[in-house]
Amino acid sequence: MSKIETAHRTKKVSFIHRLVEQRWLLLMSLPFVVWLVIFKYIPLWGWTMAFQEVRPATFKIPFLERTFVGFNNFLEAFNDRLFGQTMINTLGISILDIALGTFAAILFAVLLNEIFFMRFKKITQTISYLPHFVSWVIISSIAKNVLNDRGVIDSLFNTNFKLLSTDSAIVWFVIVFVSIWKECGWNAIIYLSSMAGIDPGLYEAASIDGANRAQRIWHITLPGIRATIIILLIMSIGGALNVGMERQMLMSNNIVENHTMVLSWFAYKRGIGKNNYGVGTAIGMFQSVIGIILLLIANKIAGSVGEDRLI
């Protein structure tokens, strides 16, 4: 038997041995794999509607008998007068969301990590992530009552505050800052968990060497959670185009709609609103494919510069 055959056989035996050793873990993960296949992979069959003419009247027609239109649904979506501005809005809000949201979550996690009064720390953390469990319907109502003209700020300071009534990209920042207020505490949890795994001895050694608190944060805390930051950034970049439409739609009005329309909302209006499910599916498919490409690019860049990769 050659050395190559021996190596392959050894590798096969080692793989089977690991399967036997981890059989209970594999068994525990089986329900989640089944859920993933049923609810995430099987529905991908619906992408076929992006290449067909699909309207409510055609649902009873068998799949193979529907009109095949090739890429016409994609061309119809791309040539739509709203598509260009919608792409700009989606990318603008996504970039702000990723940049400011990540910075805010890391900053908040670092500040919480530096608090030594545990009771105050726990109370603060609990209060900070409570808005995560509040629906966007309530959050958007609060934001409108505070930020709209004739809102709370106008009443208190006698100003003409129109952040949600201005036809400009300023509304992107408003949406992102409201989102940060809602999700910052929740997003900080994973960074706090990562910080808990840093060896306390590193901080003690740095203190003995004369490092102040800011230096300990910069040279120990942030490098200690770098892998977590990179992985979460890669995942965020992969979902850059999949900006949910709930917050934009609920915080929007006729004045700012041109700057709040994102691809998810656009797919809803063109697909469900106009009963053209083929176009809506084409837009959704475009989002997913571009998201996968962005994910692979971000992952490749992270690997090429020596950072941790997601896949």
pLDDT band at 299 (very low <50, low <70, confident <90, very high): confident
Exposure b/e, 239-262, CB count within 10 A at least 16 = b: bbbbbebebbbbbbeeebbbbbbb
Q: What is the pLDDT of residues 2-49, one digit of tens each?
A: 555 555 566 666 778 888 888 888 899 999 999 999 998 998 888 988
Query: What's the pLDDT at 272?
Result: 87
> What are the CA-CA distances from residue 99 to residues 62, 90, 171, 223, 240 (Å)?
46, 14, 16, 18, 11
Q: What is the pLDDT of residues 68-102, one digit of tens each?
A: 888 999 999 999 999 999 999 999 999 999 999 99
Rounded Cα distance between 179 and 94, Å, is 12
Average pLDDT over residues 260-266: 91
Burial of 2 (0-12, 13-18, 19+ CB in 10 A): exposed
Q: What is the pLDDT of residues 269-292, one digit of tens each?
A: 988 888 888 999 999 999 989 988
Take residue 29 and report the two structure tokens written for it: 């993960």
pLDDT band at 256 (very low <50, low <70, confident <90, very high): confident
Exposure b/e, 206-227, CB count within 10 A at least 16 = b: beeeebeeeebbeebbeebbee
Query: What's the pLDDT at 205?
Result: 92
Res. 303: pLDDT tops 60: yes
Query: What's the pLDDT at 102?
Result: 94
Query: CATH assignment of 52-304?
Result: 1.10.3720.10
Average pLDDT over residues 175-193: 92
Phi, psi for residue 271 in degrees, rounded to 5: -85, -60
DSSP secondary structure letters along 126-156:
HHHHGGGGS-HHHHHHHHHHHHSTTSHHHHH
146: which residues sit within 8 A by CB, 6+ positions away? 152, 153
Exposure b/e, 129-152, CB count within 10 A at least 16 = b: bebeeeebeebbeebbebbbeebe
Query: What's the pLDDT at 25?
Result: 87
Take residue 138 and report the two structure tokens written for it: 């309530």
> What are the CA-CA distances from residue 58 to residues 44, 165, 270, 276 (Å)?
19, 41, 17, 11
Q: What is the pLDDT of residues 208-248, one digit of tens each?
A: 988 999 999 999 999 999 989 988 888 888 888 888 888 88
When comparing pLDDT for 3 and 268, which is higher? 268
* Mean pLDDT, rounded, of the chain: 85
Query: What's the pLDDT at 162?
Result: 67
Residues in the chain: 311
Rounded Cα distance between 246 and 197, Å, is 36
pLDDT band at 65 (very low <50, low <70, confident <90, very high): confident
Query: What's the pLDDT at 178?
Result: 92
Q: Which of 190, 146, 178 is nearest to 260 (CA)?
A: 178
Res. 157: pLDDT tops 80: no
Query: What's the pLDDT at 61?
Result: 79
Cβ-contact 264, 56 below 8 angstroms: no
> What are the CA-CA distances from residue 25 to residues 28, 32, 33 (Å)?
5, 12, 12
Res. 166: pLDDT tops 80: no
Q: What is the pLDDT of residues 137-146, one digit of tens each?
A: 999 888 888 7
Give the domain ranges of the chain: 52-304
Rounded Cα distance between 256 and 140, Å, is 14
pLDDT band at 176 (very low <50, low <70, confident <90, very high): very high
